[in-house]
Amino acid sequence: MAGIEAITSEVKLLKQTSPSGTVRTFRVRIWNPTVANLTLMALGSSTPEILLSVIELVFSTKCPYCTGDLGAGTIVGSAAYNLFIIIAVCVVAVPATEGRRIQQPYVYMITAFWSVFAYLWLIIVLVGFSPNVIDLPEAIITFMLFPLAVWMAYKADMYVIM
């Protein structure tokens, strides 16, 4: 996580010359904080679970590419922990005499929607379309939903900035 933090906090210097000839220097982040949080930070914190699931899938002795006891449940369990426990700890950590505001409510609402939708989509795929089986079209749709979620959050972030 420290490496990801170092990458996402990278800045570059931009120089702007005014009509009068004065030069101003600005520090600009290379990564958009919302995109960095939703992509690199999420991937970095989920890497152990993803790696366990892939190892189990590839080296399964039951059948080639069959999921076992760990499977997707490892990743879903970690995501549920992040969604519920970490949010609860953050809420409890704020003293009763103080209050906090969400600085970017649009980004928050989009992220919250996609977090809940991911669980609903998992139920739809695993119970509705093809029970207990993930087909290639379902996998492709699931994979494509993530860039859509990141793009929507990025656009909401840009809307707030402008």
Lowest-confidence region among 31-40, 49-58, 69-78, 134-143: 69-78
Q: Can you tell me which residue has the tokens 């939903």?
A: 145
Predicted TM-score of the model (pTM): 0.70
CA dihedral 56, 62, 66, 72 (to 10 degrees): -50
CB 27 within 8 A of CB 11: yes
Query: What confidence tens digit (pLDDT) does each residue in 7-24 have?
Result: 778 888 888 888 888 888
Dump pLDDT digits (tens) for 101-140.
888 888 888 988 988 898 888 888 888 887 777 788 888 9
48: left (phi over 0), alpha (psi -120 to 50) or beta: alpha
For residues 16 and 23, the answer to whether their CB atoms sit within 8 Å is yes
Which residue type is seen at 86? I
